[in-house]
Amino acid sequence: MHDGCSGEFKSGQEIQQKLHSMGFQDQFMPMPMLIDCEKCGESFDMETFEDECPKCHMLYVVTPCHAFDAANVKAAGVKDSGEG
């Protein structure tokens, strides 16, 4: 079920899967975090545990246990527009 804060993730996709399995992706972080998008360079405030760059739609994720440090935030790919 839940392995607390001891879980280690190698990729943003792994973090994203964990967030979705627990239903935390849309929950607000304790404090917004300034993120520099690695794809387009835009800076934005990450407010939820899964958030996206407003310019290029790259998704960024972090687990609730690790939301205290931007170094724990990982890119999880460009958001699917759902079209097509």
Tabulate helix, strand, coil % of the chain (nearest 5): 25, 30, 45
Domain assignment present for residue 2? The answer is: no
Q: For the chain, what is the domain count?
A: 1
Distance CA 67, CA 58 (A): 18
Domain assignment present for residue 34? The answer is: yes
Q: Which domain holds residue 69?
A: 10-78
Domain assignment present for residue 83? The answer is: no
pLDDT tens-digit readout, 4-58: 576 678 899 999 999 999 999 999 999 999 999 999 999 999 999 999 999 999 9
Domain assignment present for residue 41? The answer is: yes
Residue 3 confidence class, pLDDT cut points 50, 70, 90? low
